[in-house]
Amino acid sequence: MTHEQRMKNLSVPTHKIDVVLDTDAYNEIDDQFAIAYMLKNPEKLNVKAIYAAPFLNARSTSAGEGMEKSYNEIFKLLDLMKTEMEVFRGSDSFLIDEKTPVISDAARDLAAKVENYSPENPLYIVAIGAITNVASAILLNPKVAENAVLVWLGGHGLHFHDTKEFNMVQDIAASRVVMSSKIPFVQLPCMGVVSGFTVSKADLECWLKDKNPLADYLAQNTIDEAESYAHGRPWTRVIWDVTAVAWLLNDKDRFMLSRIIKTPLSSYDGVYEDYADGEDMRYVYYIHRDRLMEDLFKRVLGE
């Protein structure tokens, strides 16, 4: 890939594009907003498939169970939107090293899909969970790194004291495979950047509650989750994953600001390390919270 083509692929697309979404949809409450936002922008985003990503936390007993719960949650959102879509089960475990893919329907599908694309006409991948499925697809078919563009919500801001962010720390090996693959890479860092994209109970009740089945589910799901730990105290929730979708809609920097940097590597020690062979990537460093929240609510409400 030429430098000129890489710079073009690291810019916000100006035309309708093909995109796949890789999501740990049951992990918390923000993936659901991202799925809705992506599917509610059909004039720009032609969604070719959704992949269920693995996760392991209090909501799952294993990475595989997390993936299966995410697979089912994706269909719940599709049912609410009365939409049909190809959905593939992803990895049932994380990478054991940086050379061995986890074989799954999602990884195989992505590895096959990129054969129909090129650097000049790439497939866009929005990843909002552990990057296992994408890394596995790259290991299965290196053309993924040539014929696709990756937008990933993962890691923390460069100024933050560590990289122990949920999506990244679950599968460091996978993040290193991706970041060293030379795929055109857009990073939405969590703490210090996307952490500013918060929503409150008042926002949800004012703008979404009881407006339509999808809006009501998103609002109530978030309120229930937050109040399970807030116990009557004030709260806001970050709905992180929406921002990765919004990058593809970021005409004239309307939703976020970014700059070109050299790709670092995530280390097994929980920090970023310099990478001598790092290619240019795009690093998002600021989110226009109110502008993006307004557009998200309008899309969910069908306005």
Residue 128: exposure state from Cβ atoms within 10 A (0-12, 13-18, ≥19): buried
Domain assignments of the chain as residue spans, ordered by start: 3-197+239-285, 199-237
Asked if pLDDT for residue 14 goes beyond 80, the answer is yes
Helix or strand holding residue 217 (H, E): helix 213-230
As a whole number, the mean pLDDT across the chain is 97
Q: What percent of the chain has pLDDT over 70?
A: 100
Asked if pLDDT for residue 18 goes beyond 90, the answer is yes
How would CATH label the architecture of 3-197+239-285? Alpha-Beta Complex (3.90)
Q: Which residues of 171-191 are buried (b: 16+ CB within 10 A; e: fewer)?
A: bbbbbbbbbbbbbbbbbbbbb
Please tell me the predicted confidence (pLDDT) of residue 202.
Answer: 96
Q: Cα separations (Å) of 13 from 18, 88, 154, 188, 248?
A: 11, 26, 21, 17, 6
Radius of gyration of the chain (CA): 18
| DSSP letter for each residue of 91-142 | -SS--SSSS-----HHHHHHHHHGGG-BTTBPEEEEE-S-THHHHHHHHH-T
HSE of 141, CA atoms in CB hemisphere, 13 A: 21
Task: Determine the average pLDDT of the residues in 275-291.
Answer: 96
Please tell me the predicted confidence (pLDDT) of residue 303.
Answer: 76
Q: Is the separation of the CB atoms in 263 and 278 below 8 Å?
A: yes
Per-residue pLDDT of 58-103, as tens digits, reads 999 999 999 999 999 999 999 999 999 999 999 999 999 999 999 9
Tokens coding 174: 């996978």
Could you say which DSSP state residue 159 is in? Answer: T
Per-residue pLDDT of 172-210, as tens digits, reads 999 999 999 999 999 999 999 999 999 999 999 999 999
Counting every residue, how long is the chain?
303
pTM of the model: 0.97
Tokens coding 225: 């989750």
Please tell me the predicted confidence (pLDDT) of residue 274.
Answer: 86
Please tell me the predicted confidence (pLDDT) of residue 263.
Answer: 96
The residues pairing with 262 across neighbouring beta strands, listed in sequence order, are 280
